[in-house]
Amino acid sequence: MVTSISESSMESLSTFCRSRRLLSAARNAFRTYSMTRVAVTHANFHNETSNDLKITDDHPEVEVSHKEFKYVEKLLPKLTVPDPPQHGSYPTPSGWVAPTASSTTHPYFIKRTKNHMFPVYLETSHAGTRQLVKIKQVEGDIWAFEADLRSHLEQVTGKSVFTRVHEVSRYVQVKGLHLEEVSKLLLQKGF
């Protein structure tokens, strides 16, 4: 069976073949460009030059001066938090109080943070309807601290207070918004 192809079909077929050849040539050119780009990047990274690659050093001259570095040092953050200065009276105008208790006065000790603040945090969840106060860095007898904390909060609020102790991570959680009462207890104990 012999089929005849019209002239218009023949032209569209030749156009299709030409476009496929152009597409194939474009793909090959892109592959070549990609490989060349990788080679150029590799040569720049290792500071190597190939025969066809010329790296020029067009950077401006730089002057190294150590005289002005004392001004830069003032802007850099400190490596450690400095000890707080001694004040004539406490609390300071900001409300901060220095710790007075040592680790031997109580069976437990609440270590302050690196910024000399209480490790007492408010955690909210369930769209703000559940509030927990978390006291971290409890060292020593964590159960004695939890008993003292619960008795103090029950005495202040007149209600029963629910607490949770996590011995491994050394923290105690209190259900409810008792942030200020917990901070006052830690101040009274001298932590």
Domain CATH code at residue 132: 3.30.780.10
Residue 150 lies in a domain: yes
Q: What are the helix and strand counts (H, E) for the chain?
A: 4, 6
pLDDT of residue 43: 46
Residue 124 lies in a domain: yes
Cα 125 from chain centroid (whole Å): 21
Residue 142: domain span = 108-189
pLDDT of residue 41: 47
Residues 50 and 112 in one domain: no
pLDDT of residue 56: 59
pLDDT of residue 54: 58
pLDDT of residue 49: 46
Residue 133 lies in a domain: yes
Ranking 43-52, 53-62, 150-159 by mean pLDDT, the lowest is: 43-52
Residues 181 and 112 in one domain: yes
Q: Which of 125, 185, 126 is nearest to 161 (CA)?
A: 185
Predicted confidence band at 108 (pLDDT cuts at 50, 70, 90)? Answer: very high
- The residue among 81 and 44 whose pLDDT is bigger is 81
Task: Please tell me the total count of domains within the chain.
Answer: 2
Ranking 29-38, 140-149, 154-163, 166-175 by mean pLDDT, the lowest is: 29-38
Q: What is the mean pLDDT of residues 47-71?
A: 67
pLDDT of residue 39: 45
**At 188, is the secondary structure helix, strand, or coil?**
helix
